[in-house]
Chain A
Amino acid sequence: MLAIDAAILEAIVAHARRDHPDEACGVVAGPVGSDEPARHIPMENAARSMTFYEFDSHEYLRVWREMDDLDEEAVIIYHSHTATEAYPSRTDISFAGWPQSHYLLVSTREPEVTEVRSFRIVDGTVSEEQVRVVNATVDSMAVQSYMFGQSPATVDYECRA
């Protein structure tokens, strides 16, 4: 299961909407071993494409070194699909090189509803996992316009505030 702060999820979706119809990509770093996505880092899509994304190789090295220095790792690696569902393509699976990361996919094909799904991709095998949004506040009910991979009943909102 992926537990993600509502504000970070909103920032990811905003990034995907901003770059639409090109694919957007980025990471959310968190302390090593914590499985807690804490620091959102939007990345440049070096491919600048509607059907492909690739981290800029220099930005990638810089961001990964910075995470290393801060004892962080990439808890989430996300990208958007802008005309298809939020499910890993064959290309996504071919490239997936971080088995400990959550691969979050966002589909912006529908203007009003954003599809958000999360996966583990290990040795070419895709496993979907539940997404739990934490810290959703009453006035950020925009969250309700997200459609997750599972039925709405399995989406658990936890308000810590």
Chain B
Amino acid sequence: MAIDVRVPTILRSYTDGQKAVEATGDTIAELLTDLDAKYPGLLARLVTDDGALHRFVNVYVNDEDVRFLGALDAKLGDGDTVTILPAVAGGAVLGGAVAGGAAALS
């Protein structure tokens, strides 16, 4: 089934500047794999080498954050809309744990 995917500005370099694209899949993982086939490089910006959703990105199915729906295993149905937003976070903490993250989305 075709799922409408909303892409944030920072990732549109991968989608030929398109704000919304279509992809197919029964789960978020399948959807992102299909997206990556159409727009190579996108997957690595969203999923870590360990196969988990990146800390630097929020992914929603309709109104719900996929972190509450099983993350990459979140199920998709006909007519669902997936929205990708870069996480807005930060702060004064000196975080070695998140260093190098800018490259994750840019």
A positions within 8 Å CB-CB of B: 23, 25, 47, 49-55, 57-58, 60-61, 64, 77, 79, 81-84, 88-100, 121-124
Contact = CB atoms under 8 A, between A and B. Distances in A.
A41 B10 CA distance: 22
**Listed residue (B60, B92, B101, B104) with the most chain A CB atoms within 10 angstroms of its CB:** B92
B79 interface: no
Nearest to A50: B92
Contacts, number: 118
Contact of A95 (B9, B60, B63, B101): B101
A124 B102 contact: yes
22 contacts: A49-B93, A52-B90, A53-B91, A55-B89, A57-B67, A61-B65, A61-B83, A64-B85, A79-B91, A81-B91, A88-B90, A89-B94, A90-B98, A91-B91, A91-B94, A92-B90, A93-B102, A94-B101, A97-B86, A97-B87, A97-B88, A123-B102
A51 B89 CA distance: 11
A52 B87 CA distance: 13
Main secondary structure of the interface of B (DSSP, over half): mixed
A121 to B, nearest CB: 8
Contact of B102 (A52, A54, A81, A96): A96
A61 B67 CA distance: 14
Interface of B: 8-10, 56-58, 60, 63, 65, 67, 83, 85-95, 98-106
A81 B88 contact: no
A124 B63 contact: no
A55 B100 contact: no
Contact of B89 (A47, A84, A124): A47
A81 B104 CA distance: 24
Contacts of B63: 58, 61
Contacts of A88: 90
B55 to A, nearest CB: 9
B56 A99 contact: no
Contact of B95 (A25, A82, A90, A97): A90
